[in-house]
Every structure is written in structure tokens, then in C-alpha cells.
Amino acid sequence: MTVKDIAGYYKALAVEVGADLAGKDVRTVLERKLGVSRSLLSRLKLTEYGITINGVRAYTTAKVTEGDLVAIRMEEEISEDILPQDLPLSIVFEDDYLLVVNKPAGIIVHPTKGHYTNTLANGIVHHWQVNGERVRFRPVHRLDEDTSGLVVIAKNPYIHQQLSEQLQAGTIMKMYCAYVYGAPSPAEGTVEAPIDRDPEDPHVRIVTPEGYPSVTHYKTTDVYGEGQAARVRLKLETGRTHQIRVHMKHIGCPLIGDGMYGPQSGKVDKWESAAGRQALHAETLGLTHPMTKEWMEWTAALPPDLEKLELALREC
């Protein structure tokens, strides 16, 4: 038996019932075989072709027999609140389920109040519109405006759920490159310091005992001058807002070019101007593809502004 495509729906996700699940209900089959969340199941139940057994609409409580084909279909969606814009995009990977893009510094991921255009979302929505795809913009994670590098976007609710669970479980690999003042001591280690909002400024994050658990692993790869600056590779175990910037400041090595968390004194003007922004780049992203179950990994080369900074650092 084959699963038919239905107009207005994304490609169906199907599972054939084996002897181990015969007599179970549809909910159990979908949770065990596809890992479908309860919230997504609730949405699927509302549509005519959301959940089917052998092509016939079914309830999640329906019992299945061996050989049944249970399928889910999600309705196509678009981001009606995001204005499509023809913006330059650096697409690293794309298939029917997800998109990985190399975001430049100086652009935010998603429109915010008072900032409705010239975001990554505007450009991607336009890209999908041109290609005739009806897809809603669903970023799995975000980068600060002035951080460059890799971002993954899910192309339907199921993929977003699966990747979000990987993110929460810490199985999505996110590696960053940063240029900092000073040289971390020890040269390699882990920063475990809880982070929360600064009570005096909600836009700023601080290390505080009352904060949320936050873990950053780091390794110094280059030291410039007599420890005046360093290049550091970082791996996030948690994903708090501004985590790398806050943790590097916490160990006495704030990022070069960071206007919010940079040093109060002792800045080197030529380094600051070379970077032009916080010297942070999301260089490597790895994840398990929710459909193929294969591990996939991408790397984004250092952007020109940080290459310029590195040249300046090598001169010290």
C-alpha cells in the first residue's frame, strides 16, 4: 500500500504496523515509531487527512492491526506576518525538511517589534515564495544580530519538534569561534556559571547564583602577543541568551568588539575597528536528520571581518 500526496498538505509520514504494535492504539504507534508529540497530535486530529489508517481518517484511540499503514499529514503553512524580501542568502543545505543558512553579522533572525524587514526570515520567506514552496519560518535556534554563522530552520511542525528535542537534549552540536581579550587560564576547560537577566537592565545577562544552569566548553587555539588576545573554540552544552559572551567575560576574557560585555578599559582600537562587532562566529553545526536518521555536519568559513581581525592580532 502506498501513501498518497494530498493537495494542501506536506508529504505524509507513514509507518507500517508490525506484530509488536498490533492491537495498540494510533497514539502509541505514532509516539513510539515517529516520536510525535502530544501537542502535534492534537493539531493533526483537527484536519481531515491529519491522521489516517490505510488512507481513512482515524482517531488516536483507534486500534491497529499488523500490516496497517498509519500516516500523518500536516497542512501546508506560510508566514503571513513576514514580508518576503529579495535579500542575499548563503544557503549551506536544503531539502524538503530543513534548511541550513550561514547568517551574516548585522542581521537579526526574526522580525521584532519595530524591526519588520531586512531580517533573515524576510529573505528566506522570499526564497521559498520564488521556489513555490508553502513553508512557515520556524528557526530551531537563533544567533545574536552581530554574531555570524550557521542557523537551522525547520520546514514543518514535526521537523521543528524533532530538532527542538535534539537541542534540548544537547545532541545538536554547535561550535563557535571567538576572539577574546587576554588568554583563558587554563587554556582549555568548562565554564559552569548560571545566567539570568540583570535586574537593572533586562537586555543584559549576568552570572548569578539564582540564574539558569549554563555550561560552555572552551579550548584556546591561538594566543596573540604575550597573552594580549586569543582565539577560542567553544561548544555550548546549554543555550542561554548571550551565553558565550557572558561566560567569556566571567572568566576575564571578554570578546573583542562586544559593546555590551566588552572590557570597560584597555580596548585596542584597531582590533575593535577591524571586527566592527562582537568577534563571534557559529562555525560548525551538526545534527541527526529527523527523517533519514543520519548525522549531518556543516562548517561555515570565517567571514572577512574576522579574517581582518585575525591579521591585526597576528601583528601584535
Q: In the chain, where does DSSP find H-type helix?
A: 26-33, 38-44, 120-130, 157-169, 243-250, 269-275, 304-314
Q: How many helices (H) and strands (E) does the chain have?
A: 7, 16
Catalytic residue (one of 20, 81, 96, 144): 144
Question: Residue 20: CB partners within 8 Å, gap ≥ 6?
Answer: none
User: What CA–CA distance (Å, rounded) separates 253 from 231?
Assistant: 11
Contact, 25 vs 63, CB < 8 A?
Answer: yes
Contact, 75 vs 9, CB < 8 A?
Answer: yes
First-residue to last-residue Cα distance in the chain: 69
> Active-site residue 144, yes or no?
yes
89-121 burial, b at 16+ Cβ within 10 Å, e below that, comes to: beebebeebbbbbbbbbebbbebeeeeeeebbb
Q: List the catalytic residues.
A: 144
